[in-house]
Amino acid sequence: MALLDKAIGRRNFLKGGAAAIAVAGLSGCVPDGKDASDPAVESAKAHAVESDAAIVNGEGEWVTVDCWGNCGGRCINRVFVKDGVVLRQKTDDMKEDTVETPQQRSCPRGHQMRQHVFNANRIKYPMKRKSWQPGGGENSHGDLRGEEGWQRISWDEALDYVAQELKRVYDEYGPRSVVCMGTDWPVLNLLGGRLQWNGTESYGNWYNAPVRMGGNIGNGLPDCLVGNDRMDLKNADTIVFYGMNPAWHSAGNPMYYYRLAKEAGTEFVYVGPEYNVSASVLEARWVRVRPGTDTAFLLAVAYEMIRLDDEQGNIIDWDFLHRCTVGFDAESMPAEAVINENFQAYVLGEYDGVPKTREWATEICGTPVEDITWYAGQMRKTRDVMLLHNYAPSRYRGSTDLPQLFLTVACMGGHLGRSGNAVAATFSIESANSGTKLVKLGDPAIGGVKIGAGVASVVVPKNTLEYSELPKPTIWKDMDEGHYTGYGDYRNGALDNGWVKKDGYLPPKEFDFDPKIIVNDYHNPLQATEDVNRGIKVFKKMDMVVNIEYRFTLTSQYADILLPCFTAWEGNLDPDKGELQVATNGIMRLSRAQCNRDYALFSRPAVQPLFESKNESWIYVEIAKRWGFKESDVFSVSDMQSYFNRIAGAEVMDDDGVTYKTLVTISQEDIDAWGVEGEPQQGVISLKDVLEQGYYQVPRTKDDNHGFYGYEDFVKDPEENPRSSASGKLEIYCQSKADAINWLGFGSEEVKPYPTFHTTTYQESFANWERKEKGAYPFIMYQPHYLRRAHTCFDEGVWIREAWPNPVYISAEDAAAKGIETGDTVLIHNDAGKIVRIASVLNTLMPGCIAVPHGSRTYLDPETGIDFGGNENMLVDHKTQDDFMPQCDGYNSCLVDFEKYNGKPLAADCQFEPVLWTEE
C-alpha cells in the first residue's frame, strides 16, 4: 500500500510499533496507549525528520526512476521528490501483488540507488589533471596519471582541450591512434573513425555457435528469446540452473518466479563448482563440476544417455533427433558435411579411441560418476526439463564447443518447443521470463541503423575505419606493444554475427599502430578489463585520456580531462522549469533494456542536473562545433525527440496474442509542450498517466493467449518453419561453425563441426597432468557476479558495502590446508598482480578453486603493488584469451595461488574513504 494513499486507515497506518511512534511524533499526536512522557515517544521525536511529514502530507510526488545497471531485473524504483530534492526511495507498491500481475520489486542494488546518485564521488564540474598540458610527449606528464590532484576548469576550456588535442592527433597520426573504450563517441567518426575494443565479455563462447547451428540471437543476446515464459516454469518436472545464480546476477522478480515453480512441485538442479544461494533457496540438487570442465561433464552425460537408452529405452528422443536435428548419428548427416563423422560415434570413441565415459570425465570435471549417471537419467525424454544457462560456464578457455554441446544434450531428450521444456539463456531482461514481448518501446531513431546488441542508433556518422576492432582480451597488451590483428566484429555483422568468413568478409590483418589518445564514456574500462596493471601502464603512455562520467572511477583517476555527465535521474520534462532534457548516457540508449516481457518502464527525470554536469550528447555536439560541424552531423534526432519516439512508438500485444496496438495516447498539446515532431494518436493509456505511473504492465492469466514456448513452431513443423542454419534444422554437426572458426587460423588445431573436448584450465593448472604434479598457480579463480553491484556500477554506497563485504570464497578443505579461517586477510597472487581480501570459508565450494566477486574497485599500493580493493582483474591477463576465438574473454580461466597475509589485517571496505581529488 502506497504511503500517500489517501484512503489509508489510521489503524493500518499506525500498526508497526516504532513506525507508529515516529509518525505520531511528527504530527504532535501520541499513539493510543502511549504517554507523552514515554521515553520511546521522546526518542522517536528526536529521530523524526521533515521528509516524513512531507510524504504523509503529500507535499511532493513519487517519481519512477531508472536503474541503469545491466543486471537485467529492470525493477521499479520510485523516489519522493519535494522542491527538486529526493527525500525518500521505495520500490513497486502501486498495485496488489499477484502471480498474474506481480509487483516489480527492486533488489538491494536498486534500494540504495539514492546513495549512488548523490554520492561523494560525483564529478561536479570539468576537471583537468594538474600537470597535464596539450601537445603530447613530455607535456602530458603521463607518469603522474593516477597519482596527482585535479584543478577545476570551465566547460569551454575542457572542450577546447579535447577538440584541439583530438584534431592534432588525427592530423599527425591518423585514426588508429585514437582508441574509444566507451559506447560510441560518435563525434570521432567525423574525423575518420577510431579503434575500439571487441570482446564477448558477458557471453564467452556462446555468441558464435547458436545462430549458425539454428539457435537464436534475441534482443542482441545469444540464445535468448527461445526460453519459455514465466507462467510455464511450474510445468517443468526439472529446471536445471547451469552455472547460474539469479539471486545475485538477476535479482528482483526472477527468483520469485522460480520460487513459485518450486512451490508447484518443480525440482531444481544446480550444476557448477559451488552450491550458491539460488540453489540453496530452491533446495536444488547439486551436481559438482569443476570450473571450466563442462564439456567433459556433458560429453559423459551424452555417453550415459546413449548407454542407458540401449539398456532401458525411453531415454533418447530419436524421433526428435531425426526430425529436428542433423549430425547426431550416421543417419542424420547434413548435405553440407565435409567429413564423414558424427557426434554419437565421437562420444563412443570411434575416432580418437577414447570413449567419453563417466570414468573418463570424472578425472577432469570432478563430478562423482553416480551423479553423471543420475543427471543423464534426468534428461530422458519422458521428463519435462528446462535447461537454463547464464553464459558463465563459457567464459573459460576450452569451452569453444560448450554452447553446441549444451543444445545437443537437450535435443537428445527432445526438450524443446513444448510446455515444461526449454533450452535457453536466461539473462538480463530475459531472466525467468522469455518470449515475444507483450509490451515494447518504440525505436528512438524511428528506423535508425541497428549498431549491435539490438541498440537503435540516432547517431549519424558511422565508424568506417576498416579493421577497427581490437580483441578485448589482449587490448592492453596490443596497445602496449603497438601491434594488433584485426579479426572483425563479433556482433555488428550479418547472420553470422560478423565473424570473418571466406565469402564476403575481410581476412584477418595485422597492424602496427601508435595509440596516443584514449576516450571513454560512462563505462569503467580500466577497472573492468583484464590486466589492470598493464592497463595502467598503457594509460600512462597516452598523450591524453578523456573520460565522460558522472562518478570518479578508477578510469577517471587515470584520466587527464573529466567531463561530468548527468544520470538518468536527472533532466527536465517541465517547460516551466527551463530547458527540456533527458539523459542519453551510454546504456541509457538501450531501449530494449527498458522492458522485460510483461512490462515496460517509462521512467522520467526526478531532479535537475546536478552541479555543472551536462548530457553526453551535448558534449559530443560541442566538440563537433569546434571542428566546424553542426548538431545534425552527429545525431539524426534530438534527445527529446528520441525520448518521445520511444514512448510514441510503444506497443502492447492485443488479447489475440498476435497483433500489437498503440500503447500511449498522445495529444497535440503533448507534442507542442515537448517541442517535438509527431502526430496525435489514441492508445490504451495517456502520456500523463503512463509517466506518472512510470510503467505499463500486461496482466497474465493461465488461459490467456500470451504463453510462449521457445522453438514451438519449428518443432511442430521443421520444414515449414526452418531455423537460420544452413540445413534449416538444429545442427549437432555444423559445418558453418567449424569453417568460421578454422578459417581465422587462430587456434593451434582445427575444431570439428560437432562438439568435442578441448583441454581445460584445470588440466593446465598442473605442471605435469599425467603425474598430477601441480603447477606454480594451482587454483582456478573465477569471478561471480555479486549482488552488491552490476559490474563496477552501484558499488559506492555504504549500505550495500556493509551488507555485501566482497570476500574471497575458499573451500573448507583448501583453507584448512593453508591455515586460513573466515575473517583472515588473504593474499591472492600470480604473475599479473596481487590482491588482498578477507576470507569466507565455505563447505559449499569445490576444492581447487576460489571465487572473487567481479567488479571491485582497485586501491593500489604503489610500494607493494598490492590492490587492497580486491579487483579480480588485477590477476586476469591476456593469457586467459580463448584458444580459438580471439575476441572471446576466457577471464574465468585465471590461475592463482593464495596464502594468509602477513601484513596489517584488511578493514571492511565499507570503512574505506571515498576516492576523492583535490580542487583548486
pTM of the shown model: 0.92
On the 0-12 / 13-18 / 19+ scale of CB atoms within 10 A, 692 is middle
Mean pLDDT of 494-518: 68
Of the candidates 374, 306, 314, 311, which has an alpha carbon nearest to the alpha carbon of residue 345?
306
Q: Distance between CA atoms of 685 and 883, rounded to whole angstroms? A: 53
What are the φ and ψ backbone dihedral angles of 415, each rounded to 5 degrees? -95, 50
pLDDT at 48: 61
- Classify 372 as helix, strand or coil: helix
Element (H, E) at 180: strand 178-180
pLDDT digits over 264-305, tens only? 999 999 999 999 999 999 999 999 999 999 999 999 999 999
Q: Any bridge partners for residue 423, and if so which?
A: 387
pLDDT at 132: 98
Question: What average pLDDT does the chain have?
Answer: 88
Of the candidates 504, 515, 453, which has an alpha carbon nearest to the alpha carbon of residue 478?
515
Percent of the chain with pLDDT over 70: 89
Residue 633 · residue 624 · CB < 8 Å: yes
Of the candidates 638, 642, 613, 640, which has an alpha carbon nearest to the alpha carbon of residue 548?
613
Of the candidates 655, 656, 651, 660, which has an alpha carbon nearest to the alpha carbon of residue 696?
651
Strand 77-82, strand 61-65: pairing = antiparallel
Q: At residue 164, what is the residue type?
A: Q
Of the candidates 650, 524, 424, which has an alpha carbon nearest to the alpha carbon of residue 70?
524
Q: Distance between CA atoms of 451 and 859, rounded to whole angstroms? A: 35
pLDDT digits over 681-735, tens only? 999 999 999 999 999 999 999 899 999 999 999 999 999 999 989 999 999 999 9
Residues 6+ apart with CB under 8 A from 669: none
Q: Is the pLDDT of residue 496 over 70?
A: no
Higher pLDDT pick, 381 / 22: 381
Residue 448 · residue 458 · CB < 8 Å: yes
Of the candidates 80, 111, 110, which has an alpha carbon nearest to the alpha carbon of residue 3?
80
If phi > 0 it is left, if psi is from -120 to 50 it is alpha, else beta; for residue 193 that is left
Higher pLDDT pick, 744 / 436: 436
Q: Domains of the chain (ranges plus CATH)?
A: 10-110 (no CATH), 214-438+710-741 (3.40.228.10), 761-911 (2.40.40.20)
C-alpha cell belonging to residue 691? 509517466
Q: Which residue has the cell 571450466?
A: 292
Confidence of residue 611 (pLDDT cuts 50, 70, 90): very high
Residues 6+ apart with CB under 8 A from 369: 358, 359, 362
pLDDT at 42: 57
Mean pLDDT of 762-787: 96
Q: Distance between CA atoms of 55 and 223, rounded to whole angstroms? A: 45
pLDDT digits over 880-918, tens only? 999 998 888 899 999 999 999 999 999 998 888 777 654
Residue 401 · residue 339 · CB < 8 Å: no
Of the candidates 915, 896, 771, which has an alpha carbon nearest to the alpha carbon of residue 857?
915
Other C-beta atoms closer than 10 Å to the C-beta of 910 total: 15
Give me the count of residues in the chain.
920
C-alpha cell belonging to residue 454? 539490438
pLDDT at 395: 94
- Classify 200 as helix, strand or coil: coil
Residues 6+ apart with CB under 8 A from 465: 175, 176, 192, 193, 194, 195
Q: Is the pLDDT of residue 24 over 50?
A: no
On the 0-12 / 13-18 / 19+ scale of CB atoms within 10 A, 474 is buried
pLDDT at 237: 98
Percent of the chain with pLDDT over 90: 69
Residues 6+ apart with CB under 8 A from 202: 391, 427
Percentages helix, strand, coil for the chain (3-state, rounded to 5) are 30, 20, 50
Q: DSSP secondary-structure letter at 576?
A: G
Q: Is the pLDDT of residue 28 over 60?
A: no
Q: Any bridge partners for residue 360, and if so which?
A: none
Other C-beta atoms closer than 10 Å to the C-beta of 37 total: 8
Report the b/e string of 386-404 with b at 16+ CB within 10 A. bbbbbbbbbbbbbbbbbbb
How far is residue 465 CA from its own chain's centroid? 28
Q: Is the pLDDT of residue 555 over 90?
A: yes
Confidence of residue 38 (pLDDT cuts 50, 70, 90): low
Residue 93 · residue 2 · CB < 8 Å: yes
- Classify 546 as helix, strand or coil: strand
- Classify 888 as helix, strand or coil: coil
pLDDT digits over 310-329, tens only? 999 999 999 999 999 999 99
Q: At residue 67, what is the residue type?
A: C
Q: Is the pLDDT of residue 127 over 60?
A: yes
Q: Distance between CA atoms of 488 and 466, rounded to whole angstroms? A: 9
Of the candidates 733, 801, 761, 797, which has an alpha carbon nearest to the alpha carbon of residue 894?
761
pLDDT at 498: 43
- Classify 102 as helix, strand or coil: coil
Q: Which residue has the cell 525520448?
A: 643
Q: At residue 269, what is the residue type?
A: V
C-alpha cell belonging to residue 389? 544457462
Cite the beta strand spans of 483-532 per DSSP E. Answer: 483-486, 509-512, 517-521
Q: Is the pLDDT of residue 153 over 50?
A: yes
Q: DSSP secondary-structure letter at 675?
A: T
Residue 111 · residue 89 · CB < 8 Å: yes
Of the candidates 478, 441, 436, which has an alpha carbon nearest to the alpha carbon of residue 456?
441
Of the candidates 356, 351, 401, which has an alpha carbon nearest to the alpha carbon of residue 376?
356
Q: DSSP letters along 677-737, please?
A: ----B--SEEHHHHHHH-EEE----TTSS----TTHHHHH-TTTS--SSSSSSEESS-HHH
Of the candidates 202, 181, 203, 178, which has an alpha carbon nearest to the alpha carbon of residue 191?
178
Q: Is the pLDDT of residue 448 over 60?
A: no
Q: Is the pLDDT of residue 31 over 70?
A: no
Residue 649 · residue 476 · CB < 8 Å: no
Residue 420 · residue 237 · CB < 8 Å: yes
How many Å from the N-terminal Cα to the C-terminal Cα in the chain? 49
C-alpha cell belonging to residue 792? 563496477
Other C-beta atoms closer than 10 Å to the C-beta of 508 total: 15
Residue 303 · residue 344 · CB < 8 Å: no
- Classify 463 as helix, strand or coil: coil
On the 0-12 / 13-18 / 19+ scale of CB atoms within 10 A, 39 is exposed
